Structure 1
Amino acid sequence: MNKRTLVLFGAAIGLVLVGGVVGWWGHTAGGDVTIQETQIETEQGTIDGYLYVPPEAAADDLAPGVLAIHGYINSKETQAPFAIELARRGHVVLAIDQTGHGYSDPPAFSQGWGGPPALEYLSEHELVDPDRIAIEGHSMGGWASVAAAAAHPDSYESMVLAGSATGSSGAPTGNATFPRNLGVVYAEYDEFHRLMWGTESAPATPGSEKLQNVFGTDERIETGRIYGDFEAGTARALYQPSTTHPGTHHSPTAVAHVVEWIQRTTGGDTTLDPDDQIWHWKELGTAVSLFGGFLFLFPVIGTLSGTGPLASATRPLPEPVAERDRGWGLSVALTALLPVVTYYPLMLLGRQGLPVTALTPQNETNGIAVWMLGNAAIIAALVGVWHLRSDRTLADARARYGLDTGDGVGTLARSAAIAGGVALALLALLFAFDAVFRLDFRAWLLALKLPSALHLRVGLGYFPAFLAFFVALEVLLHGRLRTAATTESLRRALAENVALLAGPFVAFLGVQYGYLFATGALPVPLTALQTIIAFQFVGVLVGVGAVSTYSFHRTGRAWVGAVLNALLVTWLVVASQATHLPL
């Protein structure tokens, strides 16, 4: 192991540790808040959660309680900003994984999205005052909150819907008396305005007839005004922070509104101003650790491919097959445009057209899988046409594309072993990180969680589709598009490939959100969920481009990069999605 590899190892581990310490400090409010892993047993399975316990909570001095519920294809960790700040103010907070999400048993959407059994559990907890319980839910977590309130109308005092609404997708309908003491924190640029409050734009929410019915008025709602009466349980207020739907659980302003409403209705320590917040340290720490974990991949790839019995799977870089001519420029343009152009159609086709089965039990992963397979087919066709127009034999092309198999099965097996070894090393690092700090690797919407046994089982069904895409991508990046300049310079290759993969999605999101901020609505509001998922595509494609390029330059072949990216992306996607069958 050379000095550069050791330095890279040290930097990666250092970032993970520093991020873990900072994240732990923010998550536990400097060690004052105890976070307990909690499992709620029901007749239909287990609901997993975190219980945030402030130091003053005791059986002889009951604390106010809060049930915090995340939205669709998220997990309990995204409720940390609300949970941290409310626990700092003396509330016992139960943040759950919705059914079918995180580590809760599937199927998704069952048991009122997990809300009713979670509220029952919290109301009976030995540290919680059953007369001072609030419910907070973001997005689909708001539907779970309303379902919980309808199932247990005497078990809560107030509710906050953050980026959510009553009466959507089967959630109970609201009115002037239900839910009790309702605060609505609805972003000025929320992408789901049609689904939630039935308006043509998010800024038009105060004029929503549906919202007005819940507020008991036929006039436009005044933002920040208190309607109704707290004692009677009919209090209502609307707040519109200047953020987006996913930004609502990552916004200091939104967090302050939630904290203030719950403090006003359930008590707790009111000496802390709602704007006095520390949750961002937890988010910063996990983001630093995520970057450290990503950096950790490269010295492991170098070590496994450069020494020992697996090193024979590598070879010198083949000669480039492309020159920067007009045909190469056209290939670059198509590579940049086609993934974005096909994004909405193929994602929606997979989500709606690919049935949920034991092999494909995750709706949104189905969309991603179909997008990958569609793009793999397009890449294969384009590269095939280009190859037929060249004078190279198939054997020569395979060698230059990095698809040769060396001594056959042995080379493929050793390549797979390198990729598997890197993935296992990252898994071990995350396992240790979770054991010490009780955190995952996370930056806002992008998170790498420890996979459960169910996630591993589900991942096996999706892995072949993901692998097909990444083999095709290897051929494209390191066959058709690799020039003399990117063969000689790893840094240049990394920069160009990362920009080529992630750059178009950055531009795509810039157009979508530029339109949203200008008009209050997305260009195609029905694609709101896929637009939000595209944020994760940016982060994933940055990683994919870097891992693919580095692996190819280290091994001279496509196999390590393709298998490793398929393993990592399958892991990341499946562990973060909702499972829709009771497996």
Structure 2
Amino acid sequence: MVQSGFGSIDVKNYNNQTMAEIIAAIDANNAAAGKDIKATFTTSTTDKMTYKVLIPDTATAENPAPAVVIMHGGLSNKDTTAPIFIELARRGFVVVAFDAMGHGKTDKSVDALTHNTMGMEAMVELAMSMPCVDETQVGVTGHSWGNNGSAAVINVINLGGENPKINAWLCGQGTMGIYDLQPGAIDGVTFGLSVGKYDEIDATYVGSYTFYSSPMAIGWIQEVYPAFSETEVPLGVWFDAEGPHEVEEGTKFDGVGGRVLYQPANTHPGALFSTTGTATNINFFYGAFGVPSGAQYISSSNQIWGIYIAFLAIGLAGWFALALAVCDLLLFTPMFRRLRGSQTALIVDDRNSLSSFRDPKESVPLLCMFILLTVFSYVSMVPCTTAGAKLIPSSTFFPNAAHTSGALGYWSFITALVSLLGIYIVSQVKVLLNRKDKNYQWKSPLDPAKLPMDKVVQSALMAFTVFCAIHLVLWCIDAVFNVDFVIATIDFTTFRPVKIFVMFRYLLLCAPFYIVNAILNANARFRDLPEWASTAIVCVGNVLGLALLLFREYSALFSTGSLLTGEACSTFTVVWSMLVPLVISPIIARYTYKRTGNIWLGALLNSFIFIMMQVGTGQYMIEGIEITMFGL
């Protein structure tokens, strides 16, 4: 309801549309509207794109509106831009958001078919052809890598000469795309530049903290207003050949080729997940096009996308709970009931066999291990992800981008080995501490993982069944409501079935972490400590090291404008998404352990869910790499 403006906006997802089908849609739109928009991209009956179109009820063939085409950044998909497309659509703009090449459900091969615009050429021409769109008022915007796509499509369309020009571009945060512009492509185009003050990428490459006073910013204004001689570019002020102009929000800038600089106080992910980042988009496109005919002016401070995100968060919590409920149901079926830890009750009653948390010989070694593992996470994330990007490059076998899936997979694998070593050392320390206690009985910390191989296989099959069941729900939600569970950098979405085979390959890197973490979780139980409390200890232990690392880096960024480890700026933008798996996985592992008496069901279910979180959204961008079933 929020996405559709409570019924005033028509929202449709177009999943897996071939390039030929998009050309057919452009031809049909041309016939209906009497237009002559050329499809300059290459047709194909096999290569596919996925996109979303939002059409306000004020945009009609009789009253066409401006359109904005949005491209997301790397390791994302179209729904990461939800705050922007929700707010622009409710203000009367037609909006097209799409999965770029190699992301979401769009094929990587689409890039070559669209003159290396990542698919954006097809989306801009589709938007221009719509009867409800004024083809002379089409703008583009992007985030991070999406700016490269925006610059590429401006080069192709504005210098191609067959279709109307793109006449507005807001280069969002992650501004390196402006270097891709070709001479003349931006002439006469309304051009906005948004450089996040605390943007990790922009801080490293363009000095975003004081960008407004940099030679780059001053030179950018002087390109249209050579007489500009100030030492700082005033934020939010529009410039053209005649000089500076104060433009009231909701009023169209009357000049030609106007430029305006913004500096929202955002991090890189915050560009698409903040009121300031969203307000920048609203302010710019109001200035570029004015208030669309028939629509009402709505202040940029009046934003409702937060309600949308709140409902997504509730739905996502319910989705995880659903996974646990499906586990319970399957344990009553003939196929899986032998996995139950107790044949007389669903919950395993083993608390009397556990040690006491009040016994320092039991609790102190475990807490010391948690502290040491926290320190390891803190010191290892940057060097491990840096090494992982080099040691596990993108390939047909591991097709995701090396600096994300390869890097984090390597860190997960090394952390699993170190954690396993820690579990063993703690068990031996307990033996030493209890050597004088004749009644002490040593228990192997690996006991929770002991299971006949046929039951391990059965646990894997059950975990995969649960995984498929809950993702079927995502497909139903996508089909009925045109919504995915995407919150900032957290993606739980529908995906191409072939990516399941990619997930299985990344299990080699990431599953050891979830297996060892489940073993550690099972060993962190005590008869006099509530289950929720011991689970919380594991959750905190999982994230504390990374949280301290992020606190260190972002404290420096906010106070000085630079990360302490600037060369790892892209890593820090991705680490935030890791916090969710690290908090949720112990809860799933503990819940399933209490029902089966072993760690395998929870460990493998976590592996499937959270590896697909990375794989499903895509990001395979290296030339010559395609997704194949076996990765050969």
* Aligned CA distance change for structure 1 residues 441 and 376 (closer, same or farther; 3 Å): same
Distance 2:275 2:428 in 1: 57
Alignment map for 1:432-447 (pairs within 5 Å): 432-447=476-491
Counterpart residue number, 2:447: 401
Return the TM-score normalized by structure 1. 0.87
Q: Which moved more, 1:426-435 or 1:306-315?
A: 306-315
Alignment map for 1:176-195 (pairs within 5 Å): 178=187, 180-194=189-203
Counterpart residue number, 2:157: 152
Residue 171 in 1 paired to residue 180 in 2? yes
Residue 335 in 1 paired to residue 373 in 2? yes
1:388, distance to aligned residue in structure 2 (A): 5.7
* Aligned CA distance change for structure 1 residues 80 and 310 (closer, same or farther; 3 Å): same
1:255, distance to aligned residue in structure 2 (A): 1.8
Distance 1:222 1:545 in 2: 49
Counterpart residue number, 1:18: none
Say whether the 8 Å CA contact 2:195–2:202 is kept in structure 1: no
Distance 2:565 2:111 in 1: 26
Higher relative contact order (CA 8 A, sep 6+): 1
Measured against aligned partners, the alpha-carbon deviations of 1:393-450 in whole angstroms (never above 9, x if no partner) come to xx97558630211xx2332233223322322231122222222211112333212101
Counterpart residue number, 2:52: 50
Measured against aligned partners, the alpha-carbon deviations of 1:166-219 in whole angstroms (never above 9, x if no partner) come to 556x622689955821112222211112555x22xx221112322322222564
2:450 partner SS: coil
Say whether the 8 Å CA contact 1:176–1:213 is kept in structure 2: no
What one-letter code is carried by the residue in structure 2 that aligns with 1:521? S
Measured against aligned partners, the alpha-carbon deviations of 1:2-59 in whole angstroms (never above 9, x if no partner) come to xxxxxxxxxxxxxxxxxxxxxxx11111111111223461547333211111113233
* Aligned CA distance change for structure 1 residues 147 and 212 (closer, same or farther; 3 Å): farther
Residue 247 in 1 paired to residue 274 in 2? no
Alignment map for 1:346-365 (pairs within 5 Å): 346-363=384-401, 364-365=404-405
Distance 1:124 1:273 in 2: 29
Distance 1:352 1:215 in 2: 39
Q: Report the structure, 1 or 2, having the larger helix content.
A: 1
* Aligned CA distance change for structure 1 residues 384 and 108 (closer, same or farther; 3 Å): farther
Distance 1:48 1:400 in 2: 45
Distance 1:151 1:418 in 2: 50
What one-letter code is carried by the residue in structure 2 that aligns with 1:499? V
Counterpart residue number, 2:298: 272
* Aligned CA distance change for structure 1 residues 397 and 78 (closer, same or farther; 3 Å): same
* Aligned CA distance change for structure 1 residues 224 and 444 (closer, same or farther; 3 Å): same
Distance 1:400 1:306 in 2: 27
1:80, distance to aligned residue in structure 2 (A): 1.7
Residue 292 in 1 paired to residue 314 in 2? no
* Aligned CA distance change for structure 1 residues 493 and 425 (closer, same or farther; 3 Å): farther
1:107, distance to aligned residue in structure 2 (A): 5.8
Say whether the 8 Å CA contact 1:175–1:213 is kept in structure 2: no
Residue 537 in 1 paired to residue 537 in 2? no
Counterpart residue number, 2:8: 32
Counterpart residue number, 2:135: 130
Distance 2:598 2:110 in 1: 41
1:243, distance to aligned residue in structure 2 (A): 2.1
Counterpart residue number, 1:314: 340
1:192 partner SS: helix
Distance 1:485 1:417 in 2: 34
What one-letter code is carried by the residue in structure 2 that aligns with 1:254? G
1:474, distance to aligned residue in structure 2 (A): 2.0
Say whether the 8 Å CA contact 1:505–1:537 is kept in structure 2: no
* Aligned CA distance change for structure 1 residues 351 and 32 (closer, same or farther; 3 Å): same
Counterpart residue number, 1:206: 212
* Aligned CA distance change for structure 1 residues 437 and 423 (closer, same or farther; 3 Å): same
Measured against aligned partners, the alpha-carbon deviations of 1:346-367 in whole angstroms (never above 9, x if no partner) come to 1122223312111101121111
Say whether the 8 Å CA contact 1:423–1:567 is kept in structure 2: yes
What one-letter code is carried by the residue in structure 2 that aligns with 1:180? V
Q: Which moved more, 1:550-559 or 1:106-115?
A: 106-115
Say whether the 8 Å CA contact 1:59–1:127 is kept in structure 2: yes
For structure 1, the 5+ residue unaligned runs are 1-24
1:270, distance to aligned residue in structure 2 (A): 5.4
What one-letter code is carried by the residue in structure 2 that aligns with 1:71? G
Residue 223 in 1 paired to residue 235 in 2? yes
Distance 1:503 1:302 in 2: 31
Counterpart residue number, 1:282: 308
1:402 partner SS: helix
Measured against aligned partners, the alpha-carbon deviations of 1:513-538 in whole angstroms (never above 9, x if no partner) come to 22211112211122122112121111
For structure 2, the 5+ residue unaligned runs are 20-40, 159-163, 223-227, 242-252, 342-347, 433-440, 628-632
Distance 1:177 1:432 in 2: 42
Measured against aligned partners, the alpha-carbon deviations of 1:453-495 in whole angstroms (never above 9, x if no partner) come to 232232121123222222222222323x444445xx3222222
Residue 304 in 1 paired to residue 309 in 2? no
Say whether the 8 Å CA contact 2:365–2:426 is kept in structure 1: no
* Aligned CA distance change for structure 1 residues 524 and 510 (closer, same or farther; 3 Å): same
Residue 421 in 1 paired to residue 462 in 2? no
2:11 partner SS: strand
Identify the match of residue 257 of structure 2 among 220, 226, 234. Answer: 234
Q: Which moved more, 1:432-441 or 1:225-234?
A: 225-234
Counterpart residue number, 1:260: 283
Residue 370 in 1 paired to residue 397 in 2? no
* Aligned CA distance change for structure 1 residues 526 and 178 (closer, same or farther; 3 Å): farther
What one-letter code is carried by the residue in structure 1 that aligns with 2:155? A
1:320, distance to aligned residue in structure 2 (A): 4.2
Distance 2:332 2:531 in 1: 16
2:175 partner SS: coil
1:97, distance to aligned residue in structure 2 (A): 1.1
Distance 2:18 2:271 in 1: 27
Counterpart residue number, 2:422: 382
* Aligned CA distance change for structure 1 residues 37 and 302 (closer, same or farther; 3 Å): closer
Distance 1:98 1:508 in 2: 31
Distance 1:294 1:147 in 2: 39
1:67, distance to aligned residue in structure 2 (A): 0.9
1:184 partner SS: strand
* Number of aligned residues: 548
1:284, distance to aligned residue in structure 2 (A): 1.7
1:103, distance to aligned residue in structure 2 (A): 1.0
Return the TM-score normalized by structure 2. 0.80
Counterpart residue number, 2:558: 517
What one-letter code is carried by the residue in structure 2 that aligns with 1:245? H
Measured against aligned partners, the alpha-carbon deviations of 1:550-580 in whole angstroms (never above 9, x if no partner) come to 1222221111111111111111111124023
1:57 partner SS: coil
What one-letter code is carried by the residue in structure 1 that aligns with 2:369? S
1:389, distance to aligned residue in structure 2 (A): 6.1
Counterpart residue number, 2:545: 504
Say whether the 8 Å CA contact 1:65–1:91 is kept in structure 2: yes
1:282, distance to aligned residue in structure 2 (A): 1.8
Measured against aligned partners, the alpha-carbon deviations of 1:94-135 in whole angstroms (never above 9, x if no partner) come to 111111111111269762233333223322333321111111
